Amino acid sequence: MKMVKIGVSIGVMAYNEEGNINSLLNALLRQETKQVFIKEIIVVSSGSTDNKQNKRNSKH
């Protein structure tokens, strides 16, 4: 029987996490399972005062 992978969305709250967000996203993207794949990662940042928003598409 063929195994079907399930796509999941991951939500991450990131208030002033400029120094940590790239490591977190890279760790999430390295996860491997036989039954699940990451369809999307949504990073929510409201009111942050760091430069994270300007880096959002630099590597991903």
Q: Is the pLDDT of residue 58 over 50?
A: no
Could you list the residue range(s) of the whole structural domain that residue 36 is in?
6-55
In a domain, 60, yes or no: no
In a domain, 1, yes or no: no
The answer for residues whose C-beta is within 8 angstroms of residue 9's C-beta and 6 or more apart is 39, 40, 41, 42
Q: For residues 13 and 53, what is the distance between their CA atoms, to the nearest angstrom?
A: 13
Which three-class secondary structure state does DSSP give residue 6?
Answer: strand
Q: Is the pLDDT of residue 59 over 80?
A: no
pLDDT digits (tens, 9 = 90+) for 3-51: 899 999 999 998 888 889 999 999 999 998 899 999 999 998 888 887 7
Q: Is the pLDDT of residue 55 over 80?
A: no
How many domains does the chain divide into? 1
In a domain, 27, yes or no: yes
Q: What is the pLDDT of residue 3?
A: 85
Q: What is the pLDDT of residue 17?
A: 87
In a domain, 23, yes or no: yes
